[in-house]
């Protein structure tokens, strides 16, 4: 009995340690009650996500959409995937927020307040496709380690901010500038304050594009916390990890940025194609830049049953990294024949394009509707998995839905 009492007390003590604070009135806690601070938070409420979103990981938070949830022309927050490498910052003070430019290739180190950024430079709004480099990883064989994304780690929201180019001109950069690297407020999973969870970047040419923004609004509102509030770098068409969230610093480098997840095998694929499962040395891995051509059927949801004789209206989006999409086709016979979908022009460069088609089926039975996009350089999506790579990036294999005609 004494031992149990001791256990009770020491449990309270360790609970206090977990919470990082004393549990006032801990002694009078009703038995069996879980403290609110220790209960699993509801990620859907926490991040204002739709309950059909799929949680892949809760430390760090990684949540993806399903194909049919991405039907909107402009992705709303509730259907936007979350990919985090570290812990989301919690104590953000917008009034004290600053962005510092440093590195080997700035003329001088310079710091701006958030207010200065917003008031000093012209605002621009673009709809920009952000896709996780590992979207589709779950299909690779042999399997690749990491979050097992299926198809839902892609979004195309409207981002408002200032051009990175405008502010780089104001800071002044040297001729030897090669790359910019970002620094942010998120913290490392291990709790080590000296480690950055992620610090990636983009080459200067990408940094100077019209559409490369320092954004403070998403879909006309403050950026949601999980997506980088209050300031985020947006480099559309590239792996979304290049678009750093909770932005506090930008280093202008005279070499390829060497921050966390820029080196080793992170966000890299073999420079030359390898056989599935082959070992690849770090020095033979090359940084992913533009994402490949891809498409998604967002309507109907896979599993639709329709009556014989009725046509099926399908629609979705297609995107091609730095390029545009020139054609989207569909097949109901596993690629034996293809028919064209109607395809819209993008809202702006680096935005996804909408396609639709009216599909007719010859007789009753089980069908799969496959979609295949082709980019402006004539490169199409493969029907099988593209080149295997150790980390499972860049799976742009055709998307398909199941349909039954009865």
Q: Which of 142, 172, 362, 365 binds another protein (CB under 8 A)?
A: 142
List 313, 345, 360, 364, residue binding another protein (CB under 8 A): 313
- In this structure, the number of other CB atoms found within 10 A of the CB of residue 297 comes to 29
Q: How many whole angstroms separate alpha carbon 378 and alpha carbon 399?
A: 19
Token duo for residue 167: 């502010």
Q: Are the CB atoms for 66 and 54 separated by under 8 Å?
A: yes
Report the DSSP beta bridge partners of residue 286: 269
Binding mask 97-136 for another protein (x = CB under 8 A): ----------------------------------------
**What is the Cα–Cα distance from 244 to 261, expressed in whole angstroms?**
12
The set of residues, in sequence order, having a beta carbon less than 8 Å from that of 404 and lying 6+ positions away, is 303, 304, 305, 306, 365, 366, 367
Q: Which two tokens stand for residue 302?
A: 């896979």
Which residues, numbered 227-286, are part of the site for another protein (CB under 8 A)? 264
Q: How far is CA 14 from the centre of its chain?
A: 37
x-marked contacts with another protein along 75-94 as a string, rule CB under 8 A: --------------------
What is the closest distance, in whole angstroms, from the C-beta atom of residue 305 to another protein in the complex? 5
Q: How far is the CB of 118 from another protein (least distance, A)?
A: 36
Give bridge partners of residue 354 from the DSSP assignment: 317
Beta carbon of residue 289, minimum distance to another protein (angstroms, whole number): 23
Question: What x/- string results for residues 13 through 52 when contact with another protein is judged by CB under 8 A?
Answer: --------------x---xx--------------------
Which of residues 198 and 269 has its CB atom nearest to another protein in the complex?
198
The answer for residues whose C-beta is within 8 angstroms of residue 124's C-beta and 6 or more apart is 160, 161, 162, 163, 210, 213
Q: Does the protein bind another protein through residue 402 (CB under 8 A)?
A: yes
- Which residues of this chain interact with another protein, rule CB under 8 A? 1-2, 4-11, 27, 31-32, 55-60, 139, 141-143, 145-148, 188-192, 195, 264, 300-306, 312-313, 368, 383-385, 397, 400, 402, 404
């Amino acid at each position: 009995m004494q031992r149990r009492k001791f256990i009770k007390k020491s449990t309270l003590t360790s609970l206090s340690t977990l919470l990082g604070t004393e549990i006032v009135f801990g002694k009078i806690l009703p038995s069996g009650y879980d403290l609110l601070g220790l209960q699993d938070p509801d990620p859907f409420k926490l991040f204002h996500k739709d309950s059909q979103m799929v949680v892949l990981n809760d430390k760090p938070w990684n949540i993806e959409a399903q194909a049919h949830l991405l039907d909107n022309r402009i992705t709303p927050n509730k259907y936007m995937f979350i990919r985090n490498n570290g812990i989301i910052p919690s104590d953000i003070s917008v009034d004290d927020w600053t962005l510092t430019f440093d590195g080997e290739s700035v003329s001088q180190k310079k710091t701006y307040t958030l207010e200065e950024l917003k008031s000093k430079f012209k605002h621009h709004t673009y709809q920009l496709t952000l896709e996780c480099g590992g979207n589709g990883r779950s299909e690779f064989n042999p399997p690749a380690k990491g979050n097992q994304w299926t198809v839902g780690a892609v979004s195309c929201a409207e981002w408002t901010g200032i051009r990175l180019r405008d502010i780089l001109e104001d800071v002044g950069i040297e001729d030897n500038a090669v790359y910019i690297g970002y620094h942010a407020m998120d913290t490392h999973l291990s709790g080590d304050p000296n480690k950055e969870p992620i610090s990636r970047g983009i080459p200067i040419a990408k940094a100077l594009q019209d559409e490369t923004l320092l954004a403070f609004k998403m879909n006309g509102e403050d950026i949601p916390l999980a997506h980088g509030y209050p300031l985020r770098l947006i480099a559309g068409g590239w792996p979304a990890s290049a678009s750093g969230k909770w932005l506090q610093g930008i280093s202008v480098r005279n070499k390829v940025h060497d921050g966390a997840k820029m080196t080793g095998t992170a966000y890299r694929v073999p420079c030359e194609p390898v056989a599935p499962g082959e070992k690849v040395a770090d020095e033979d891995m090359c940084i992913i830049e533009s994402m490949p051509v891809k498409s998604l059927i967002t309507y109907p949801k896979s599993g639709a049953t329709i009556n014989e004789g009725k046509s099926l209206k399908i629609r979705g989006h297609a995107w091609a990294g730095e390029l545009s999409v020139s054609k989207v086709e569909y097949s109901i016979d596993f690629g034996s024949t293809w028919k064209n979908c109607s395809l819209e022009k993008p809202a702006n460069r680096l935005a996804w394009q909408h396609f639709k088609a009216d599909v007719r089926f010859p007789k009753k039975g089980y069908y799969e509707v496959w979609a295949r996009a082709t980019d402006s350089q004539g490169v199409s999506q493969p029907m099988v998995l593209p080149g295997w790579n150790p980390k499972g990036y860049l799976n742009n294999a055709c998307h398909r839905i199941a349909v039954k005609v009865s």
